[in-house]
């Protein structure tokens, strides 16, 4: 949402934490009360000082975050744990070289990365260091870095509680959750993360030492992603024998071209709208569409940004047709 310059913030962006356009549209629907608050704040800001507006902006943005529930914790940890084994084996393969005591350049690079105050800065510095290396120096750097990680795993006996606390906070931020560190759910997340990291360390150590039996035993401790079973309680209806919308579209367009003499530009407009429809709506028999489906589609289209504006003209999203390649959900 774009804001007036006087507020000191040019726009408010909020990630919908999904690559599925239907799920994104549902989340936008949930955000509508907050969006209305933002609009009212913009209107009332004409009579407010900028220092008064910013706290209210933050309160609205915080209200748009998902509230962490106890049931979310195991899913978050299971997603994170899926890469433990592969990551450990990758480190084991790469980290075969010994660190040279006179490799001052690597020490400086590592120190520069480690001195970052948060994960985002640390990641940015790592990318900066790798990006500044010559092509032939990148692989040796990754091998040296992997060797350093292997060495640290062998030296570290305890999990840093402060570090786990920060990792829990970063995990929630990345997943679109609120980060109330005093809540019971957050403290449970930190506790389960601590246990998970201990299992991760044991798994990595067994892989580095070539202890296949311990590796397999440790892997059984890692959680599988819980599957949420949703029971459909809606009464079943007779299956429709009508054609799907996607099956009649080509016939419909051919009819329009013949009857209304559609120009190439108008045909492209039809294709463009149809491509968005395919992403937003569920393809079903044409007699099952209701007026509310059309209304939902129109409302969703109003929420989409203009394709020719930055940064959306640089963002691609796979659609059913190549005629539209620059759409995203704000």
- 83-87, 186-190, 300-304: range with lowest mean pLDDT: 300-304
Give the pLDDT confidence of 33-46 residue by residue, as tens digits.
888 888 888 777 77
Task: State how far the Cα of 31 lies from the Cα of 65, in Å rounded to an integer.
Answer: 9
pLDDT of residue 7: 67
Residue 156 pLDDT class (50, 70, 90 cuts) = low
142 closest CA partner among 112, 97, 111, 108? 97
Going from N- to C-terminal start, the domains of the chain cover 5-63, 70-219, 245-314
Write down the pLDDT at residue 247: 87
What angle in degrees, to the nearest 10, is found between the helix axes of 264-280 and 21-44?
100
Give the Cα separation of 97 and 95 in Å (integer).
Answer: 6
- Residue range 158-214, pLDDT digits in tens: 556 777 888 888 888 878 788 888 889 899 999 998 888 888 888 888 887 888 888
Q: At what angle do helices 184-208 and 70-81 cross, to 10 degrees?
A: 20
Tokens of 132: 């500044």
Q: Considering the chain, what is the average pLDDT of its residues?
A: 76
How far apart, in whole angstroms, are the C-alpha atoms of residue 213 and residue 210? 9
DSSP track, 28-70: HHHHHHHHHHHHHHHHHGGGS-HHHHHHHHHHHHHHTSBPP-H
Phi-psi region of 49 (alpha: psi -120 to 50; beta: other; left: phi over 0): beta
pTM, entire model: 0.47
d(CA 21, CA 29): 12
**pLDDT recorded at residue 316:** 57
Please report which confidence band the pLDDT of residue 101 belongs to, taking 50, 70 and 90 as the band edges: low
Distance of CA 118 to the CA centre of its chain: 19
Whole-number Å distance between alpha carbons of 81 and 193? 10
């Amino acid at each position: 949402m774009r804001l007036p310059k006087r507020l000191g913030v040019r726009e408010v962006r909020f990630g919908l934490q999904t690559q599925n356009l239907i799920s994104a549209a549902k989340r936008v629907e949930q955000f509508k009360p907050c969006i209305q608050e933002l609009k009212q704040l913009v209107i009332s800001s004409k009579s407010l000082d900028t220092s008064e507006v910013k706290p209210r902006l933050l309160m609205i943005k915080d209200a748009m975050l998902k509230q962490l529930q106890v049931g979310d914790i195991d899913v978050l940890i299971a997603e994170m744990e899926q890469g433990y084994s592969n990551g450990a084996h990758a480190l084991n393969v790469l980290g075969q070289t010994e660190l040279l005591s006179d490799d001052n350049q690597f020490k400086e690079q590592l120190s520069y990365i480690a001195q970052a105050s948060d994960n985002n800065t640390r990641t940015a510095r790592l990318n900066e260091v790798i990006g500044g290396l010559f092509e032939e120096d990148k692989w040796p750097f990754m091998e040296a870095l992997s060797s350093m990680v292997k060495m640290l795993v062998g030296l570290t006996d305890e999990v840093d509680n402060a570090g786990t606390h920060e990792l829990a906070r970063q995990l929630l931020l990345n997943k679109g959750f609120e980060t109330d560190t005093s809540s019971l759910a957050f403290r449970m997340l930190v506790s389960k993360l601590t246990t998970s990291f201990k299992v991760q360390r044991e798994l990595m150590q067994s892989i580095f030492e070539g202890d296949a039996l311990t590796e397999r035993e440790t892997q059984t401790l890692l959680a599988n992603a819980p599957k949420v079973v949703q029971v459909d309680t809606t009464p079943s209806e007779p299956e429709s024998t009508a054609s799907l919308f996607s099956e009649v579209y080509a016939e419909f367009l051919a009819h329009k071209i013949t009857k209304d003499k559609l120009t190439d530009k108008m045909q492209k407009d039809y294709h463009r709208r149809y491509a968005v429809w395919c992403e937003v709506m569920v393809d079903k028999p044409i007699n099952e569409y209701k007026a509310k489906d059309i209304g939902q589609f129109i409302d969703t289209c109003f929420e989409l940004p203009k394709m020719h504006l930055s940064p959306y003209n640089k963002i691609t999203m796979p659609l059913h047709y190549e005629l539209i390649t620059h759409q995203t959900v704000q």
